[in-house]
A = this chain, B = another copy of it.
């Protein structure tokens, strides 16, 4: 599994009404999750979560008195976004860039919007490609389903 594959956790509800913020395990104020809780929630490994933080893909994560990570609901939201972007095939470096813009403050609003719009265009292009591929697949499946012998010079 490199990229392209939904996390098992994310495939719960196939609700199309997506824009609503996802509900979280705990209410704001009591949201202090250990790394293993977050790992279970996101489907990522603890190793990967630490790695995300190391490379700057996570906003600064709180620590407990003894130095352990304590994630918040906001962190979960962020990880949800990252998960979506990951599914688009967006390179980690680009996501890190976005995270940096977020950390840099409000004056990067325009740049962030541009980055998102570029990504949006990429996603639309990918969808179009996949539809083309679908057409090819349907064409071949038809051949295999109907006429058993393939036509003269098909790519098999």
Residues of A bordering B, CB below 8 Å:
2-4, 6, 14, 18-19, 21, 28, 59, 73-74, 77-78, 80-81, 84-85, 87-89, 102, 106, 109-110, 112-113, 116-117, 119-120, 123-141, 144-145, 148-149, 153-156
Q: What are 19 A-B pairs with beta-carbon distances under 8 A?
A: A3-B4, A3-B89, A4-B4, A18-B135, A21-B154, A74-B155, A77-B154, A84-B132, A88-B133, A109-B148, A112-B144, A113-B141, A113-B144, A119-B137, A120-B137, A123-B130, A123-B134, A124-B134, A130-B130
Contact between B155 and A140, CB atoms less than 8 A apart: no
How far does the Cβ of A95 sit from chain B's closest Cβ, in whole Å?
A: 12
Contact between A87 and B133, CB atoms less than 8 A apart: yes
Q: Which 9 A-B pairs have the closest CB atoms?
A: A77-B155, A113-B144, A4-B89, A18-B135, A102-B156, A78-B155, A84-B133, A19-B139, A81-B155
Contact between A19 and B136, CB atoms less than 8 A apart: yes
CA of A59 to CA of B59, assembled, Å: 49
Contact between B73 and A153, CB atoms less than 8 A apart: yes
CA of A14 to CA of B141, assembled, Å: 23
Q: What residues on B are CB-neighbors of A6 within 8 Å?
A: 125, 129
